[in-house]
A and B are shown apart, each in its own frame.
Chain A
Amino acid sequence: MRPRRDSDGNYGGIGVGMIGRRCLLAITLACLAALPATGAGAAGKTSPQQAARFLEKMATETLAVLGDHGATLDQREAKVRQVMRENFDLAKIGRFVLGKAWRKATPEQRAEYQRLFSEFVLRLYARRLGGYAGETFKIIKAGPLGKRDALVSTEIGRSGGPPLMAGWRIRSGPKGFKILDVIVQGISMIATQRSEFRALVSRQGVDGLIEALRLRVGKFPAKAS
């Protein structure tokens, strides 16, 4: 099955073709219930209002980067990746996305996977959520999600296209607020990746997944001449 075009024609999640949109929505709901409050001394609830302010600050930083037209697209996206690296809990996301295979992976496999996954996912998010001309960012609402997280709903406006609805799952912890998931047009990005990675791991093992990630980050971008 070929990847299908989403309603706005733009934001097909990766791997949508393999599993289908309806199925992904179901997985998304399952994931919203997952990501349990693990870790000893896990703090209490995340204040939705504070989470919204945290997100707004990140968005302001990101939009400032995107508005810098003296920089090339590659440079702008590299800066967006840097902002995201600071604000996403990539270690937790990486572990969750690998699922059961994480427990069986060797320390070397885990380290290599986490390194490549971070690079891959930051590239993906920076492309999905940034880089478009004339972007605007608006917070629609913020509320609790599960026992300890907050979900901040936003509308990312783009000139020459319908706005993109994105929900941000945020948790406060010892290192401040961290983003755990982005739900784009109703589809959880970590759920999408988890399904895709599970298929890859079952076919080719963890080493095969690592190799696939390595290949994906090794491709050349668009060129000027």
Chain B
Amino acid sequence: MSVTRVAKAAGVAVLLGAGILMGLYAPPARADFEAGWRAYQKGDFSGALEAWRPLADAGDARAQFNIGVMYDEGRGVALDRAQAIQWWTKAAGHGDAEAQHNLALALIEGTGLSQDYDKAVFWLEKAAAQGLVRSQYSLGKMFSFGFGVPKDLNRAFRWIEKAAKKGFDKAQYNLGKMYRDGSGVDDDPEASTRWFLAAARQGYDKAQNQVGIRLAKGTGIARDEVRALMWLTLAARQAHAAATKNRKKLARKLSPEQRAEAGRLADGWAPKGGE
């Protein structure tokens, strides 16, 4: 056996040994992570940091992500966006989808580092491909504004549609707008109302205002002024300014009985579903 072969064999043995050792150490690492989480839940943020820091230094992506959040939010440490970004960059490199998403948002925001749309799109694509709904939606917005990518309304539509179909209210609302305006897709009043309605049912005030307007006019849905008033009332209760005005205008046109009925419907309404 040549010297190099011996060295190689020894190297393999060392690697195997290290692998076994890492295997043996995995349970304590898991326990440490959980201990950190329990401390975090109790509001003992320094305890959480103590538990997570060694794991993060050893390359645990979840611990790196969580420490990034602590720096970003100033929990148990002085708020430090640059530190947050360093930790998220490490975790994102290990394939952590939430870290990829937060890092992308930080790159778009440009606080704690310089704004970089190209890199933001790079990380959003990774997270979106992993099925993270919020990243799919944000990526759709990047395509619709042409930030970090050439403006492409069709691709914007496809990403936003993906997130909407998974129940993300903001994506549903945006899809409603895209069908209404014929942006990235042929305009389709029925589809528009359907998506606005999906977001409105989850309690999204902007969508409730749109549904109210469309029901009052009979756009993409049969006209129903009582239900229109119900949706506008729900949005107005969330202090949506335009809905408050629209509600007043519509209420004046209706009879006291119709207004009372809309009020009863609004009182008995509860949001459904969600991301």
What residues make up the interface of A, taking CB atoms closer than 8 Å to B? 2-6, 9-14, 16, 66, 69, 72-73, 107-108, 110-111, 114-115, 127-128, 131-135, 160-161, 211-212, 215-216, 218-225
Candidates A9, A131, A212; contact of B78 at CB < 8 Å: A9
Quick one: closest B residue to A5, CB to CB?
A: B78
Kindly supply a per-residue 1/0 record for chain B positions 78-116, scoring 1 wherever the CB is within 8 Å of any chain A CB and 0 otherwise: 111110000000000000001001100110110100000
5 tightest CB-CB pairs across the interface, nearest first? A133-B43, A5-B78, A220-B98, A12-B78, A111-B241
Whether A131 contacts B43 by the Cβ 8 Å rule is yes
Whether A128 contacts B40 by the Cβ 8 Å rule is no
- Which of A4, A72, A108, A220 has the most chain B CB atoms inside 10 A of its CB? A220
Answer yes or no: B19 CB below 8 A from chain A CBs.
no
Distance in angstroms between the alpha carbons of A14 and B105 in the assembled complex: 17
Distance in angstroms between the alpha carbons of A72 and B62 in the assembled complex: 18
Q: Helix, strand, loop or mixed for chain A's interface?
A: loop
What residues make up the interface of B, taking CB atoms closer than 8 Å to A? 33, 37, 40-47, 62, 65-66, 69-70, 72-82, 98, 101-102, 105-106, 108-109, 111, 134, 138, 205, 239-242
Given contacts A133-B42, A216-B109, A223-B65, contact A107 B241 (CB under 8 A): yes
Q: Which chain A residues lie closer than 8 Å to B241 at the CB level?
A: 107, 110-111
Whether A72 contacts B75 by the Cβ 8 Å rule is no
| B87 → A minimal CB distance (Å) | 11
Whether B40 contacts A221 by the Cβ 8 Å rule is no
Distance in angstroms between the alpha carbons of A174 and B65 in the assembled complex: 45
Q: Which chain A residues lie closer than 8 Å to B102 at the CB level?
A: 219-220
Quick one: closest A residue to B98, CB to CB?
A: A220
| A133 → B minimal CB distance (Å) | 4
Whether A111 contacts B242 by the Cβ 8 Å rule is yes
Candidates A3, A69, A218, A222; contact of B105 at CB < 8 Å: A218
| B92 → A minimal CB distance (Å) | 12
Whether A215 contacts B108 by the Cβ 8 Å rule is yes
Candidates B72, B76, B106, B138; contact of A10 at CB < 8 Å: B76
Q: Which chain A residues lie closer than 8 Å to B81 at the CB level?
A: 3
Q: Which chain B residues lie closer than 8 Å to A161 at the CB level?
A: 46
Q: Which chain B residues lie closer than 8 Å to A218 at the CB level?
A: 105, 134, 138
30 contacting pairs across A/B (C-beta < 8 A): A2-B82, A3-B79, A3-B80, A5-B78, A10-B74, A10-B76, A12-B78, A13-B79, A73-B40, A111-B241, A111-B242, A115-B240, A127-B73, A127-B75, A133-B43, A134-B43, A160-B46, A215-B108, A218-B105, A218-B134, A219-B101, A219-B102, A219-B105, A219-B106, A220-B101, A220-B134, A222-B65, A223-B65, A223-B66, A224-B37
Query: Known contacts A111-B242, A114-B239; can you find 16 more A-B pairs with CB under 8 A?
Result: A3-B78, A3-B79, A12-B74, A12-B78, A69-B42, A107-B242, A108-B242, A115-B205, A128-B74, A133-B44, A211-B108, A216-B105, A219-B72, A219-B102, A219-B106, A220-B101
Q: Which chain A residues lie closer than 8 Å to B43 at the CB level?
A: 66, 73, 131-135
Whether A222 contacts B78 by the Cβ 8 Å rule is no
Distance in angstroms between the alpha carbons of A161 and B47 in the assembled complex: 12
| A152 → B minimal CB distance (Å) | 24
Q: Which chain B residues lie closer than 8 Å to A10 at the CB level?
A: 74, 76-78
Quick one: closest A residue to B39, CB to CB?
A: A133
Whether B70 contacts A222 by the Cβ 8 Å rule is yes
- Which of B43, B80, B134, B138 has the most chain A CB atoms inside 10 A of its CB? B43
Q: Which chain B residues lie closer than 8 Å to A73 at the CB level?
A: 40-41, 43
Quick one: closest B residue to A6, CB to CB?
A: B78
Given contacts A10-B76, A73-B40, A132-B43, contact A223 B98 (CB under 8 A): yes
- Which of B47, B98, B105, B106 has the most chain A CB atoms inside 10 A of its CB? B105
| A164 → B minimal CB distance (Å) | 12
Whether A12 contacts B45 by the Cβ 8 Å rule is no
Q: Which chain B residues lie closer than 8 Å to A219 at the CB level?
A: 69, 72, 101-102, 105-106
Whether A223 contacts B45 by the Cβ 8 Å rule is no
| A102 → B minimal CB distance (Å) | 14
Quick one: closest A residue to B38, CB to CB?
A: A224
Distance in angstroms between the alpha carbons of A188 and B138 in the assembled complex: 33
Quick one: closest B residue to A196, CB to CB?
A: B111
Distance in angstroms between the alpha carbons of A11 and B73 in the assembled complex: 10
Distance in angstroms between the alpha carbons of A223 and B33 in the assembled complex: 10
Q: Which chain A residues lie closer than 8 Å to B42 at the CB level?
A: 69, 133
Given contacts A216-B109, A218-B138, contact A127 B74 (CB under 8 A): yes
